[in-house]
Amino acid sequence: MKKLAILAISALALTGCSAQDITLVRLAAHDSFVISDELVAEFESETGYELEIIRLGDTGSLTNQLVLTTNAPVADAFFGIDNTFAGVATDNNIVDGEMQAIDYSDVCFNYDLDWFAESSIAPPTSWRELGQEQYKSLVVVTNPNFSSPGLAFLATTHAGFDTSAEVFAYWRSLRDNDLKVAGSWEDAYFVDFTRYGGDRPIVLSYASSPSAEVKEDGTPGSAALRTECFRQIEYAGVLNNADNKPGAKAIVDFLLGDSFQASVPENMYVYPINEAIEVPEAWAKFAQPADSLLGEGLDINANRDQWLTDWSDVFDN
Amino acid sequence: MTTNLELFATTALIALFSSVVATILGYPIGNWLAGTGRRTRQLVSSFLLVPFLLPPFLIGITLLPLQPNAFNSITGILWIIGAHVLMNAGFMARVVSANQVPADQLEAASLDGASGLRKRFAIELPQQLAGMLSAGLLVALYSATSYGLVLTLGAGKVDTLETEIATAALRDLDLNFALTLALLQTALTLCFFYLARSIGAEPAPLFGEQETASSGSKLGGVLSAVLLAAIVIVFAGVFVRAITYGPGLFENFANLAGRGSRELLNISVAEAALNSLRNLIVAALIALPVAWLAAGRKRTSYLVLLPIGISPVVFGLVFLILSGYLPSALSGTWLLVPIVQSLFLIPLSYQVLRPARQSVSMEIRDAAQLDGAFGWRMFSEVEGPLVRKPLSVAAAFVALGSLGEFGAASFLAYGSQATLPLVMFRLISRPGPENLGMAMAAASLFIVVALAVVWLISLEARTQRQER
């Protein structure tokens, strides 16, 4: 057996495992993170670090992968853990110091103005109406198990009703109204939404999304239901046990800096956390934040598993 | 809420039903195969074995376009069982056709006036039963560890121990619960594996030759034709979709250099394929030498065989937990994936290499040693050439096993280290004709590789026979 052990070890040695080069900074992010090549170049020339971005799936799997690899982290810093998952990060002590809020966005339903103009149906005024007969087969949401806006909307419903029986009744009414559940925001928006060739004129998205739907003549193509929305705040931070903590701090500072902050509306359709940053003109007109919010006091971390189990029970059977 | 018991029962029932149906289907096909001419037998049985050699997740992908859009969990389970049967019926048939009763026994029975049916059930079946039972349990084992297939065809509506291990660990971060389920999963699969081994001695040679007097029934011929047709239709479906889906043939293959529509993937399919190739090389460098050395020992190494009864998902979970305690040069790097893969590729290659190495006679080795051949020289100049063929078969198994491995990689490979099966799964789990076209293009490449491997192996079997 000794022979075998030696062989196995030498096979390992052959493949080479060299120490991390400390000029490298690894930023773990979710799949929707966008940073332009110019901004990467700006960061690298300003700090002398080389930036590697490691995408770890959606917000949930990003957070979970960082927790599961906390003793030997795959990155030095992270971007994209949001307030629905922040509790997981703090409970598991994966962040060195404070998490920094980078951007925010309001999760709410959008509807296709052209579609409703052509049909005889009046557009909804609140998410509470979506179980009504006239909206049958018109709505697409995202699966809260895999998608953070989906989870945000699930939280919204729990904040919006007094008892879980009412929450259940609401979700069942959506299910019976032929609600479509898409795997991700991208799928719901770019595949199922009528503005992109789908057959659902009402889509779970963000208050800021209509700014991307302004037509050539300057009129809006979609509108958001701005009441009782859920505010999602995305954070960045330095990971405990990071190989390159100074580098990690440098990239977090860069994400808070003016250049990156100014880029987030157009690149990620979210509002910069720095209010001094001017948002694009289309945003001022068509992408106002929500009029009212829900669920800010929810303990999402304590309830997530139960909510998701209940939700799956409604939809799987 | 699904209980542990329900999960265990679902997993066990899917495994048992898959195995029973594959056996019922494989038995007449195997008997029919045994009665056909050598050329037909070789051609048909090689083709029937292709699905068996393909990774389960890929079988899932090939069947996915045939699934209805909406279905419930029972329908999902039926699809999964159907896919397992498609994978394993050919393997069962091959086992049955290799376990035929000697011709003189049957002739004696005929002289005594036994009818065809009586010969089949009173003489042949009892003698074939042990081999079939053993193979059936192996099929149950494979069917209880086909995580990628369950994910693909279950569409989130079918919960098995493996899917819940992944959910508990990766979504709920509940490692204790994941480990509990992992213990149940391991108890189930080890049970299948050891029963299989204790009933049948060694698994029947997959590509061997067997002379027999048995004449197959009409039913066997019809079923063979049906199974062959099903396999051809499913595979042809993949090729056709690679041509017709999305932007069409050339674009679909060209897109493999990209990251899918809306930049869905972190890395391109081609980059993922390179990751997989790199993992394959490392896994082979570990698995083949270790299996080689273990196969040369006089006694059977059960320690080496043990991992074959353990689900890759369980391995993935255990190594994910361990990764925090391993040296940092190892944990958090891509190396972990091929190392874990080699753990269950070692027993696979051991089973091919052991009979081969044991058959090299002691005299040859002793003579070579007297002539001063030791260690590397013994391998490269004496034993290696003698067992070149089994060695290449073992290498082919390792290659297919590593390339198609899904369960362990889904725990340990993320971001830019994703493997080919992982990116293919991501492509098919998102809508969009372009993504599906890419997945089908990649799947057809996979099938072509498997066909090439089967062809290579049957070629080896043929030259081996000629040399005898």
Q: What is the CA radius of gyration of chain A?
A: 22
Best-predicted range by mean pLDDT (B32-46, B175-189, B412-426): B175-189
The pLDDT-based confidence of A109 (bands split at 50, 70, 90) is very high
- A84/B contact by beta carbon, under 8 A: no
- A87/B contact by beta carbon, under 8 A: no
C-beta atoms of A316 and B157 within 8 A: yes
Closest of B205, B210, B229, B202 to residue B31, by C-alpha: B210
| Model pLDDT, residue A15 | 44
- A314/B contact by beta carbon, under 8 A: no
Q: Which of B229, B244, B259 corresponds to the end of one domain?
A: B244
C-beta atoms of B262 and A190 within 8 A: yes
Regarding whether B260 and B117 lie in a shared domain, the answer is no
Regarding whether B232 and B121 lie in a shared domain, the answer is yes
Regarding whether B216 and B272 lie in a shared domain, the answer is no
Dihedral angle of Cα A90, A92, A95, A101, to the nearest 10 degrees: -30
Residue A11 has pLDDT above 60, yes or no: no
* Residue B127 CB contacts under 8 Å (≥ 6 apart), including other chains: B99, B101
Which residues does chain A have within 8 Å of residue B73's beta carbon, measured at their own beta carbons?
Answer: 316-317
- The answer to whether the beta carbons of residues A78 and A239 sit under 8 Å apart is yes
Distance from CA of B213 to the nearest CA of A (A): 45
Please state the rounded mean pLDDT for residues B311-332: 82
Query: Considering CB atoms only, which of B290, B335, B432 is closest to A17?
Result: B335
Distance from CA of A103 to the nearest CA of B (A): 22
The pLDDT-based confidence of B351 (bands split at 50, 70, 90) is confident
Please state the rounded mean pLDDT for residues B23-34: 91
Regarding whether B204 and B278 lie in a shared domain, the answer is no
Residue B341 has pLDDT above 80, yes or no: yes
Whether the model clears a pTM of 0.90, i.e. scores above it, the answer is no
List pLDDT tens digits, range B77-102.
Answer: 999 999 999 999 999 998 888 878 77
Percent of chain B with pLDDT over 90: 38
Residue B56 has pLDDT above 60, yes or no: yes
- The answer to whether the beta carbons of residues B97 and B202 sit under 8 Å apart is no
Please state the rounded mean pLDDT for residues A52-65: 85
Please state the rounded mean pLDDT for residues B424-435: 84
B interface toward A at CB cutoff 8 Å? 1, 72-73, 156-157, 169-173, 262, 264, 266, 282, 285-286, 289-290, 293-294, 320, 323-326, 328-333, 335, 339, 414-416, 429-432
Q: Which residue has the tokens 């690149």?
A: A267
Regarding whether B419 and B287 lie in a shared domain, the answer is yes
* Residue A49 CB contacts under 8 Å (≥ 6 apart), including other chains: A23, A24, A25, A43, A244, A247, A250, A251
Dihedral angle of Cα B271, B275, B278, B282, to the nearest 10 degrees: 180
Which residues does chain B have within 8 Å of residue A80's beta carbon, measured at their own beta carbons?
Answer: none
Instruction: Give the residue on A whose Cα is nearest the Cα of B331.
Output: A72
Which own/partner contact pairs does A3-12 have at CB distance under 8 Å and 24+ positions apart? A3/B293, A4/B290, A4/B293, A4/B294, A7/B286, A7/B289, A7/B290, A7/B293, A8/B286, A8/B290, A11/B282, A11/B285, A11/B286, A11/B289, A12/B286, A12/B330, A12/B335, A12/B339
Domains of chain A from N-terminus onward: 21-104+231-280 (3.40.190.10), 106-230+289-316 (3.40.190.10)
Distance from CA of A221 to the nearest CA of B (A): 21
Q: Which of B222, B244, B266 corresponds to the end of one domain?
A: B244
CA A110 remoteness from chain centre: 16
Residue A1 has pLDDT above 60, yes or no: no
Percent of chain B with pLDDT over 70: 93
Distance from CA of A111 to the nearest CA of B (A): 21
Regarding whether B240 and B264 lie in a shared domain, the answer is no
Residue B421 has pLDDT above 50, yes or no: yes
The pLDDT-based confidence of B103 (bands split at 50, 70, 90) is confident
- The answer to whether the beta carbons of residues B340 and B411 sit under 8 Å apart is no
- A162/B contact by beta carbon, under 8 A: no
C-beta atoms of A15 and B320 within 8 A: no
Distance from CA of B125 to the nearest CA of A (A): 42
CATH number at residue B175: 1.10.3720.10
CA B339 remoteness from chain centre: 19
List pLDDT tens digits, range A149-185.
Answer: 999 999 999 999 999 999 999 999 999 999 999 888 8
C-beta atoms of B1 and A7 within 8 A: no
Mean pLDDT of chain A: 88
The pLDDT-based confidence of B205 (bands split at 50, 70, 90) is low
| Model pLDDT, residue A18 | 42
Please state the rounded mean pLDDT for residues A267-275: 90
List pLDDT tens digits, range B142-155.
Answer: 999 999 999 999 88
Dihedral angle of Cα A224, A227, A233, A234, to the nearest 10 degrees: -20
> CB atoms < 10 A from the CB of A272, how many?
21
| Model pLDDT, residue B463 | 59
The two three-digit tokens of residue B146, written as one number: 């086909």
Regarding whether B266 and B225 lie in a shared domain, the answer is no
Which residues does chain A have within 8 Å of residue B157's beta carbon, measured at their own beta carbons?
Answer: 316
Regarding whether B322 and B211 lie in a shared domain, the answer is no
Three-class DSSP category at A234? strand
Regarding whether B196 and B107 lie in a shared domain, the answer is yes
Distance from CA of B255 to the nearest CA of A (A): 19
Residue B29 has pLDDT above 60, yes or no: yes
Q: Which domain holds residue B53?
A: 1-244
- A65/B contact by beta carbon, under 8 A: yes
Mean pLDDT of chain B: 85
- Phi and psi (nearest 5°) for A237? -170, 170
List pLDDT tens digits, range B233-268.
Answer: 999 999 999 998 888 888 999 999 988 877 778 789
Regarding whether B88 and B40 lie in a shared domain, the answer is yes
List pLDDT tens digits, range A60-100.
Answer: 888 988 998 888 788 999 999 999 889 889 999 999 999 99
Which residues does chain B have within 8 Å of residue A64's beta carbon, measured at their own beta carbons?
Answer: 170-171, 173
| Model pLDDT, residue A20 | 45
Residue B210 has pLDDT above 60, yes or no: no
Please state the rounded mean pLDDT for residues B213-222: 75
| Model pLDDT, residue B423 | 92
| Model pLDDT, residue A254 | 97
Q: Which residue has the higher pLDDT, B177 or B330?
A: B177
The pLDDT-based confidence of A119 (bands split at 50, 70, 90) is very high
Residue B209 has pLDDT above 70, yes or no: no
Three-class DSSP category at A102? strand
Total domains in the fold of chain B: 2
- The answer to whether the beta carbons of residues B195 and B320 sit under 8 Å apart is no
- A178/B contact by beta carbon, under 8 A: no
Instruction: List the single range of A138-147, A162-171, B195-204, B220-229 with lowest mean pLDDT.
Output: B195-204
How far, in Å, CA of B396 to CA of B460, rounded?
A: 12
Instruction: Give the residue on B whose Cα is nearest the Cα of A145.
Output: B171
CA B228 remoteness from chain centre: 18
Which residues does chain A have within 8 Å of residue B290's beta carbon, measured at their own beta carbons?
Answer: 4, 7-8
Q: Which of B220, B244, B268 corresponds to the end of one domain?
A: B244
Residue B461 has pLDDT above 70, yes or no: no
Regarding whether B233 and B85 lie in a shared domain, the answer is yes
Residue A14 has pLDDT above 50, yes or no: no
| Model pLDDT, residue B130 | 82
How far, in Å, CA of A101 to CA of A289, rounded?
A: 17
ipTM of the predicted structure? 0.74
How far, in Å, CA of A207 to CA of B57, rounded?
A: 39
Please state the rounded mean pLDDT for residues A265-273: 89
- The answer to whether the beta carbons of residues B87 and B59 sit under 8 Å apart is yes
Regarding whether B363 and B277 lie in a shared domain, the answer is yes
| Model pLDDT, residue A148 | 84
How far, in Å, CA of A97 to CA of A110, rounded?
A: 37
- A160/B contact by beta carbon, under 8 A: no
| Model pLDDT, residue A158 | 95
List pLDDT tens digits, range B110-137.
Answer: 888 888 788 878 888 888 888 888 889 9
Instruction: Give the residue on B whose Cα is nearest the Cα of A3.
Output: B293
